Amino acid sequence: MPQTETPELNLPRSPRDILEALVRIDSTSHTGNLETITLLQRIFASKGVTTHVFREEDGLDANLVAVFPAKGESAGDSTDRAAKDVLGSDYGTGRGGVDRLEGESTPAHASDAARRGILIAGHTDCVPVTGQEWVSPPFEPTERDGKLYGRGTADMKGYIATFTALADRFLAADLTEPVYLAATWDEETSCNGARELVKQLDTLEIAPRIAYVGEPTMMDVITAHKSMNSFEADFRGIAAHSSLLPRGLNANRYAAMFTTWFHEEIIDRGIAEGPSDSAFLVPHITGGVNRFDGGNAINTVGAHAHLLFEYRALPSDDAIAIARRIQAKIAELDEEMKKAVPADPADSEQAKNVGASLTIRTLLYPLDCGTEGEAAQLARELGVTISPTKVTYGTESGIYEAAGMSAVVIGPGDIAQAHGANEYVALDQLDKCEAFFLALLERLSN
């Protein structure tokens, strides 16, 4: 798809108009972000900006990279390709569980003297509105009292919309180094879009030195957050009438054993003996088995139990080592369950599938750039406040830091508004975001 200078009629142009157009698109994670990416692709094309789109096999998701070359350099032609065709054998993160237990416990930080350019990164998916009571329709942006309400206004479509509105100015400038806009899929549940993006940037021979990752921070810079790690565990036993207990195998019993072990050995022991950092609102590891579904009747031996659990570890903790301990405990319980299968089971077919299994939903790297890191230093020079506070939520920033970039989190809006009913962004926050991008443009134009 060659880039074009021909304006497309009826496309939104201002930060406010683009944000409203993005909010009107229901890009809830499970529905995909392709419509959002297509709109951004059209806007950039109308401005003559080179874009690269990488479409996932599911037909729902895509990553987009927009290129703003440095003076004397060419951005080349736009491309729109299937991710698997670009990444070959490296493709395949997808929407399922992601196994990151192989290799070193801590990702190596790449060192590359050739790194150059600034990555403006953000996700395009949003969380569901199911069960929430909204004053105004969540996918119809509504202004009240200087605030724009709608799903994704704070988290975090305002950041992408503001930069997109300034695309003409970045493209026309004589930049001293390139700038890139990256819009990713599925941050809210897995961050797998960002994982794929790192590989896709490699195929484009793009190696930014700095990543500014958009999330609602009230336009202050956040330099550290915890890792976020989520799992599913299944325990499969044998159903039987409760009066015939010896012929059954109670899956709930083993799920409860794991639940107790996880809370005592991972969370409680981690709080008592693990690292602590007072810069975090909660200065230690947190986590729990937060959903426990098991059994089907009071008089039936429970045949299946399903657990959802997570932990958030400090950057100084070894989150992957914790995951390995969990994996080992599940394997231990799996062996115990198989040994406990009765000689005369009530259900011989269920007996064949007895055991425990683990699915890793997300292992999201922590962020620990530091207040004196390259990204923070440049932001400080642009007039932005560097927050001394470290946050408990997770972002894609840790993935970019692990890939060798100096990454921080910055964006319009308040994290307190994210995910809830009546989400909003104050309109003056969009002005502050625009001022940040214009200050960056001025610095790179000198």
Instruction: Work out whether the CA dihedral 326, 327, 332, 337 comes out positive or negative.
Output: positive
Task: Give 182's strand partners.
Answer: 65, 121
The mean pLDDT value for 184-203 works out to: 93
Flag the least confident range among 111-120, 275-284, 364-373. 111-120
The mean pLDDT value for 316-324 works out to: 94
Average per-residue pLDDT for the chain: 93
Q: Copy the structure tokens of residue 25.
A: 């698109």
Task: Give 359's strand partners.
Answer: 232
* Residue 444 confidence (pLDDT) above 80: yes
Q: Residue 5 has what pLDDT?
A: 46
**Region at 339 (left for phi over 0; alpha for psi -120 to 50; beta for the rest):** alpha
Residue 355's H or E segment, with its range, is strand 355-364
Q: Copy the structure tokens of residue 50.
A: 């080179």
Q: Residue 9 has what pLDDT?
A: 65
pTM over 0.85: yes
Report the percent of the chain where pLDDT is more than 90.
89
> pLDDT tens digit string along 291-315?
999 999 999 999 999 999 999 999 9
The mean pLDDT value for 155-181 works out to: 98
* Residue 230 confidence (pLDDT) above 70: yes
Q: Residue 168 has what pLDDT?
A: 97
CA atoms within 13 A on the CB side of 273: 6
Q: Residue 7 has what pLDDT?
A: 57
Flag the least confident range among 37-41, 369-373, 422-426. 369-373
Q: Residue 189 has what pLDDT?
A: 87
